[in-house]
Chains A and B, each alone.
Chain A
Amino acid sequence: MKRRSAGFTLAEVLLAGTICAVALVAVTSAMSSVTTSKAELADQPVQAARLAQDITVLAETLPRTPSGTTGATSGSAVTALDSLHNAVFSPPIRSDRTADSSLSGWKQAVTVEIFKLDNLNTPTTESVSTALSAQAPRLYRLSVTIWHGSQKLETFRSWCRP
């Protein structure tokens, strides 16, 4: 009887190599999807909420006396609450009105509407550039839509007093 020599058979090596290759491809693919999912499920919502909160905090500090100019596109153009109406910031701005250039590809789109206290479902037709008394029975509603690239992530709404 011929004695078997030490080592691996060709069949073992081929089978092991095949399993390794399949496993490597599967794991690489899975890790790639998981990383993408992590960005979409964990990181982006938090980032979007933070960007919306920056606008909300900024709105609280802005003068209510209208500037007469809407549609700001940079932090320096935001001088009163009505500046935020139809404003688009890309790169997004922080609550201190400075641009966050590290977030290229992100965008904040803001609209401001006026609601009566007894009807919070339908905005009034009043212009946000019309001065409201601090005692007016009205509330401003800010809608901040966050975009990442061409993907619309979320619209956050907040309410503030005249």
Chain B
Amino acid sequence: MKHPAGYALLVVLFFVGLIGMLSATYLRHVMSESRNSAASVSSQDAAHAVDAALAWGQQAALTGSNLSNASLGNGRSTAFVQTADLGNGHRKLLASAVDGEGLGSTVLAEGVLMPVAQAGSDDDLPQIDPDIADEIVPHNTNNSHCGNHGSSSVTTTYYSGTQRIANTDLTGLVVIRNSARITFDNVTVAGAIVSEDSLGDAGLGAFNANTAPTVIVDGGLRVSGASFLPGVAVMLPDGVLKCSTNPCSIQLVGDVVAHTITLTGRGCITGNLASVQTASLATGIERPGAGRSPRAWSTALQLGNANSFRYLAFIPRLSTVGSLKAITGFKFK
């Protein structure tokens, strides 16, 4: 077979060109992948920056500070966050971040501050609203050892020293004096048990085990709450609520706040718990509905400083006509 002159050269050049095209295609693939990976990392970085902004926003809201906005970077992206107090413990957070590639992320969230189960100190626990305390505290608190002292509307019973109250039905407010150690045995309270200092305006200060008002359940105790202090069963932020060494039975209808809560035996608590020491509850004590969803705290309480975001709801942002045009008009490089 006869080949024209230069045939071998043409064939070689063809294959060289083919290899060159394949190489160029691979090079373009590598460049494209590099750009994609850079964009991916950058976008991920912007999302992390938003997380950082949300962390700042939540912490700023928790501390109750007047900080309302900030910018913070994570080395590659810069995030901006704004917080706003919507009242009633509601906080709004708006966080956005843009990275060096122009990619960004924005979230809008609303959350509700709620007390955590464990606080740092007595003063961080939920407290009785001072206005409500003023209404229910008897005008004459200079009372004696024990007895009934009424305000205009609320029957109040003070206990002090070391006493054992047995087989008794009480109504109204049961006030436990400082240093008192009261043992309840087969007692019902159609009202609430509170410590004396929880009704005052002064701070509770450091916990003192020797002077702490102490409620000991020996046998049975039922506290059913009352309208003058709605949703509150036991309010001993500077005191102790515990069971004796004998098996006890409790039924507490309302929120329970104490420095130390140690309950053995059986029964149920229908309300929130807050304490400084980690609460110790026997498995026989049921808490209907606890953990299923946030349970509202009593409206008679100020919720203290030991708050946390009970939930953070992320709200979809509505696109405006302008932003939609910008999105649809965007040209990829």
The residues of A with any CB-CB pair to B shorter than 8 Å are 6-9, 12-13, 15-16, 19-20, 23, 27, 30-31, 34, 37-38, 41-43, 45-46, 48-49, 53, 56, 117-118, 120, 133-139, 143, 154-162
B60-A117 in contact (CB<8A):
yes
Bound Cα distance from A138 to B58, whole angstroms: 11
A135-B307 in contact (CB<8A):
yes
9 A-B pairs within 8 Å (CB atoms) are namely A16-B12, A31-B23, A34-B27, A42-B36, A49-B41, A117-B65, A120-B70, A135-B307, A137-B67
Q: Chain B contacts of A20 at CB under 8 A?
A: 12, 16
A-B contact count (CB 8 A): 131
Bound Cα distance from A135 to B116, whole angstroms: 11
Bound Cα distance from A16 to B74, whole angstroms: 57
B58-A161 in contact (CB<8A):
yes
A162-B59 in contact (CB<8A):
yes
Q: Chain A contacts of B9 at CB under 8 A?
A: 12, 15-16, 19
The residues of B with any CB-CB pair to A shorter than 8 Å are 1-3, 5-9, 11-13, 16, 19-20, 23, 26-27, 30, 33-34, 36-38, 40-41, 44-45, 48, 51-52, 55-56, 58-60, 62-63, 65, 67, 70-76, 116, 120, 124, 305-308
Bound Cα distance from A110 to B3, whole angstroms: 70
Q: Which of A27, A38, A134, A157 contacts B34 (CB 8 A)?
A: A38
Q: Chain B contacts of A30 at CB under 8 A?
A: 23, 27
Q: Chain A contacts of B75 at CB under 8 A?
A: 143, 154-157
B1-A6 in contact (CB<8A):
yes
Q: Chain B contacts of A53 at CB under 8 A?
A: 44, 48
B307-A41 in contact (CB<8A):
no
The smallest beta-carbon distance between B291 and chain A, in angstroms, is 20
A46-B37 in contact (CB<8A):
yes
Bound Cα distance from A157 to B73, whole angstroms: 8
Q: Chain B contacts of A37 at CB under 8 A?
A: 30, 34
Q: Which of A6, A117, A133 contacts B70 (CB 8 A)?
A: A117
Bound Cα distance from A41 to B5, whole angstroms: 46
The smallest beta-carbon distance between A159 and chain B, in angstroms, is 4
A134-B308 in contact (CB<8A):
yes
Bound Cα distance from A12 to B11, whole angstroms: 11
Bound Cα distance from A118 to B72, whole angstroms: 11
Bound Cα distance from A138 to B56, whole angstroms: 9
A139-B38 in contact (CB<8A):
no
A8-B7 in contact (CB<8A):
yes
A41-B34 in contact (CB<8A):
yes
Q: Chain A contacts of B58 at CB under 8 A?
A: 161
10 other A-B residue contacts (CB within 8 Å) besides A6-B1, A53-B48, A133-B120:
A12-B8, A19-B16, A41-B30, A41-B38, A48-B41, A120-B72, A139-B56, A159-B52, A161-B55, A161-B58
**Given the contacts A41-B34, A46-B37, A133-B120, A159 and B72 also touching, CB distance less than 8 Å:** yes
